[in-house]
Amino acid sequence: MKNMFSPTEMKVLKILGRKKMTISEITTKLCGKHKKSINAGNIVAYFIRRINMKCKFHKLDWFLNGKGAGRLGRTVWRSKKV
């Protein structure tokens, strides 16, 4: 699994673990309180999409599921494929 995901994608997966978290919570833990980029949330969302593409490509038995949008933010979590 380490060779398949980039170091930043591994950090996102490590932060998320088995919990449900919003993208803004992941961004805060990844970048700290001082966000280096204006679009830090968009960058984390991009990494989540890349992780899901790699899970599909490598036919893994899990993926990052999500729900919601807007002001409250999208909540993501790790799910098993059915």
Domain containing residue 69: CATH number = 1.10.10
Domain assignment present for 2: no
- The number of domains in the chain is 1
1 within domain boundaries: no
Angle separating helix axes 7-16 and 23-31, nearest 10 degrees? 120
Q: Is residue 65 part of a domain?
A: yes
Q: Report the distance separating Cα 61 and Cα 39, nearest Å.
A: 31
Residue 18 placed within a domain: yes
* Separation CA 58–CA 39 (nearest Å): 29
76 is a domain residue = yes
What is the residue range of 45's domain? 7-80
The predicted pLDDT at position 2 comes to 58
Per-residue pLDDT of the chain (82 residues; tens, 9 = 90+): 558 999 999 999 999 999 999 998 998 898 876 666 778 888 899 999 999 999 999 999 999 999 998 766 899 999 998 7
Residue 57, in any domain of the structure: yes
